[in-house]
Amino acid sequence: MDWRAKLGGFYPILDVDETKLAEDLLSAASVLQLRFKGASRGDLLRIAAWARRLTKEHDALLIVNDDLAAALASGADGVHLGQDDLPLAEARQLAGDRLFIGVSTHSLAQVAAAVAGGADYLGFGPVYPTASKAQPDPVVGLDRLAAAVAVAAPVPVVAIGGITPARAVEVAAAGAHAACAIFAVNRAADVRAAAAAMAAPFGAARRRRRGRP
């Protein structure tokens, strides 16, 4: 399966060193991003080692947030970079064809720049107000998400920021390839049910585009 297909639907982020949570997230996804802000390189590599084994068992992609060296050392499939992380051109030079590279974007100008720079996929948002960052970027809304999808095409766009299972329906309708969530799924009473609810609208959207019920 092409990595773009695995990226679609629910895009979970693991932010707690807990195998059970990772397994619950992967019950409804084919990708897992590791996001451990402030973790030491040693801790990140330890987590990435068991996450790499788990994602292989689930035939899923492993993406490391921010840390290109840890992504390469762990045998991850991809790395995700923020606007203040390693520049895309430098990351591409260092990674070669060993990793695909995602870039977080927050404006249409950043979308265009990331596409021109050769990003393999984009995060775009925050689509809604979010509590997962202390100083979030301004909310972009659904209309600009749809515009970002159009500007980026055919590069996949993952919607980020404040997305819940209920809002995932709107995000899928706006054309996003996937939806990312942390709080609404990772902290849910039933993580597997929340993950499945996040993924469901994207399967329905793909079927509609193919003319299937």
What is the per-residue pLDDT across 73-124, written as a single tens digit (0 to 9) for each?
999 999 999 999 999 999 999 999 999 999 999 999 999 999 999 999 999 9
Give the span between the Cα atoms of 96 and 162, in whole angstroms. Answer: 33
80-115: b (≥16 Cβ within 10 Å) or e: bbeeebbebeebbeebeeebbbbbbbbebebbeebb
Of the two residues 118 and 1, the one the predictor is more confident about is: 118
Selecting among 30, 104, 144, 167, the annotated active-site residue is 104
What pLDDT is stored for residue 1 in this prediction?
Answer: 59
Q: Is 104 a catalytic residue?
A: yes
Average pLDDT over residues 164-185: 96
Burial class (CB in 10 A: 0-12, 13-18, 19+), 35: middle
Give me the phi and psi of 182, to 5 degrees please: -120, -70
What are the start-end ranges of the H helices in 27-105? 41-57, 68-74, 88-95
pTM: 0.94
Q: What span, in angstroms and rounded, lies between the C-alpha atoms of 86 and 61? A: 21
- Domains defined for the chain, CATH in brackets: 3-209 (3.20.20.70)
Q: Is 56 a catalytic residue?
A: no
Catalytic annotation, pick one of 6, 35, 92, 206:
35
- Is 209 among the catalytic positions? no
Catalytic residue of the set 133, 187, 207, 208: 133
* DSSP at 101: E
Q: Who contacts 146 (Cβ-Cβ below 8 Å, separation ≥6)?
A: 174, 175
